[in-house]
Amino acid sequence: MDAATTAAMLHALRDPTGVPSHPLIFQVLMVFTWIPHILFVNLTLGSALMALYAFMRRNEPHWQRLSEAMTKVAKVGVSLLVVLGVAPLLFTQTIYDPQWYASNVLSAAWVIGFIFTLTVGYLAWFTFYFKNHGEHAPAWAGWLGAFGLAMFLLDGFIMHVLSYQGLLPDQWFNWYVPHGQVDMSGTVIHAWQAPRFGFYLAMSATLFGIFLMAYADYFRSRPDRPADYLAFARRMGARIAVVGAGAQLVLLLWWLLDVPSHLGMWAHPMSWALMAFIAVLAAAVWLARTGEPGAGYRLMAMGVGMAALVAIFREALRMAYLQPFAYSAIEYKVLWDVPPFVMFLLTLVGVGGLMGGFIITAAYKSGRVQGMYEADATLRRLAVGSLTSTIVWVAAFIGTGIWIWLRNH
């Protein structure tokens, strides 16, 4: 399909309902909510692989302890990556609806497969978690864990495919009507890009390695975590992160080579900013490789920074791919509807800040002590704020609803 026809198609597919706030708001939210999502994707993949590797060496105490801990991390990680994935998925559908929906329908069977394989994989991982205790944990549990990880990787690949296919709208027609015959089966994966997918896998190594260093720092205050175990984790984390960052650099170069040259990504400042930042991150991890405690949190912040740059780079790339077809998210029709936007902002700050802050603070503070933690004044205030904010929210929403319902009906 030529560029002009593709452009016409994209504009026909775009929802005429428009968006209720400026598209830039959705674009920014899409990019920045993707950051925590990908961080947990990376953390989950890295910790799951480490849990399985350590499981194979579980007759050694450090490895056994590490395997159990990382199994738990991956378990919680999947939950969080799913819930954190909802927001970028929502905002993507809002401003890139033609790309997302067409790509999904064209590989619909894989989309449905994603749901079931993720469920089955997660159940397998939970079983592994329940059985992975002590050096005599059954070997079959490890196979279940490996199956779980394989499903996670498959699901990551499916998500990669759905994103990538959306960037190639000029090919959708040929995928739907190959050789003149309509294919409504949705069973075919039409396009994928090895360096792009590989880059995210390498990023898992980098971020997991950094996480391991921060993990060692976090548990420094716990007397039940031996110092030599924490040093072991810290050293290994540094090694993994350095290898991961190196692999990321190589794969990023390959990725840029694989992107059509007319998109001009070599000249794009985000390409170079990302490359430079990864190099700096690799150097910072290298300097911390000796295993001195205290660098974990700082490197973690740099890891989040890298994920942010990847998120922006990824969006810049999408804009470049769609530019020849005159598709710009910023030009989406706007029909302002302020009240629900205000509701979202107030909920994000009020409920998200207070209840989220309460839970995270409670988990952080109680995790650093052995035995029962007695809440300090800050946590007590957060607890009251959390409960109050949710109750006030429900009362306000239902109250507004009753008023509008009575007015309209």
Partner 1 sequence: MPEHLGLYPHWYVPAIGSAWVMGIIGTIHVLASHTSVGASWLFALLETKAVRENKPELMEYIKKYGMFLLVFSYIIGSITGPGIWYSVTVASPRGISGLIHNFVWVWATEWVFFFVEVIGVYALVYLLGKIDPRTHLKLTWSFAVASWATMILIVPILSFMMWPGNERWYETGSTFDAAFNLNYFAHLGVRTAFMFAIAGAVGGILAATMKNREVRIEITRFLSKMGLAGLFLGVVMWLWYLQTLPENARIVMETQMAPKYGPFLAAVLLGTLLYFLWTAWKPLQLRQGVAVAMTVVIALFGLWPEERSRESLRKPYVAGQYIYSNQLFARDVPGKGVTSDLPMIEAKGVLQTHMFVPADLRTVTPENKVRAGEFLTKTLCTNCHSIEPDAKLRALPARFGFSDDPVMVKAYLDGALYHGTVPYMPRLPLPEAEREAMAAYIASLSKGAAPMLAAHDALQQGAH
Subset of 180-219 contacting partner 1 (CB under 8 A): 180-182, 184-186
Angle at 330 between CA 82 and CA 168, to 5 degrees: 65
Q: What are phi and psi of 85, to 5 degrees?
A: -75, -20
Instruction: Check residue 86 for interaction with partner 1 (CB under 8 A).
Output: yes
Instruction: Name the token pair of 212.
Output: 């391991």
Q: Residue 31 or residue 84: which is nearer to partner 1 going by CB?
A: 84
What amino acid occupies position 237? G
Note whether 334 binds partner 1 by CB under 8 A: no
Distance CA 186, CA 111 (A): 9
- Please report, to the nearest 10 degrees, the dihedral formed by the alpha carbons of residues 120, 123, 124, 126 taken in order: 160
**Using rule CB under 8 A, residue 399 touches partner 1:** no
Displacement of CA 104 from its chain's centroid (Å): 19
Q: Is 408 in the site for partner 1 (CB under 8 A)?
A: yes
Q: Which of 7, 9, 205, 295 binds partner 1 (CB under 8 A)?
A: 9
Residues 258-297 interacting with partner 1 (rule: CB under 8 A): none
* Contact map string, positions 346 to 385, toward partner 1, x by CB under 8 A: -xx--xx--xx-xxx-xx--x-----xxxx---xx--xx-
Instruction: For the CB of residue 395, give the shortest distance to partner 1 in the complex, in Å.
Output: 10
Among 76, 188, 231, 247, contact with partner 1 (rule: CB under 8 A): 76
Interaction of residue 2 with partner 1, rule CB under 8 A: no
H or E stretch at 317: helix 296-322
Given candidates 53, 60, 79, 257, which one binds partner 1 under the rule CB under 8 A? 79
- Closest contact distance (angstroms) between CB of 57 and partner 1 is 27
Determine the interface stretch with partner 1 among 37-45, 72-80, 205-213, 269-277 (rule: CB under 8 A).
72-80
Among 250, 297, 339, 368, which residue interacts with partner 1 (rule: CB under 8 A)?
Answer: 339
Is residue 17 part of the contact set for partner 1 (CB under 8 A)?
Answer: yes
Spell 318-340 as b/e; 16+ CB within 10 A means b: bbbbbeebebebeebeeeeeeee
Q: Report residue 334: phi and psi, to 5°.
A: -115, 130
- Residue 264's identity, in one-letter code, is G
Helices (H), 192-288: 194-218, 227-258, 269-287
Phi then psi for residue 22, to 5 deg, are -60, 135
CB of 143 to partner 1, least distance (A): 19
Q: How far is the CB of 92 from partner 1 (least distance, A)?
A: 10
Can you tell me whether residue 334 is helix, strand or coil? strand
What token pair was written down for 317? 């790339």
- Give least dist CB 163 to partner 1, A: 14
Q: Which of residues 98-137 bind partner 1 (CB under 8 A)?
A: 100-102, 104-106, 108-109, 111-112, 114-115, 118-119, 122-123, 126
Residue 221 makes contact with partner 1 by CB under 8 A = no
